[in-house]
Amino acid sequence: MNEKMQSRLYLLTFLACDIWLIQSIISFVHDGTIMHWSSLIFIACIAIVICYTGYQGWTLYTKTRESDEDDNDNSDEE
């Protein structure tokens, strides 16, 4: 898998985990279990995954984007 596809996969995972976290928090509030220890651990774990995948996805995206711009500059010179 190349870095461009890997960055897209990280960003897609970031988006899916964001949606999952929001849905889970809403469910915990409706159940009244938002302050239960298992809910807090789950929220913390998903937040860590969101931070990691967001950072890795953005880092790889900017890295591959710079190489795409370099490729376009080289094709203009020919």
- Confidence at 53, pLDDT banded by 50, 70, 90: very high
Question: Is a pLDDT exceeding 90 seen at residue 19?
Answer: yes
Domain ranges of the chain: 2-70
What is the structure's pLDDT at 75?
55
Q: Which residue has the higher pLDDT, 3 or 77?
A: 3
pTM: 0.78
Question: What is the average pLDDT across 22-32?
Answer: 96
- Going from the C-alpha of 60 to that of each of 10, 47, 48, 54, 76, the distances in angstroms are 9, 20, 18, 10, 25
pLDDT tens across 29-42, in order?
999 999 999 999 99
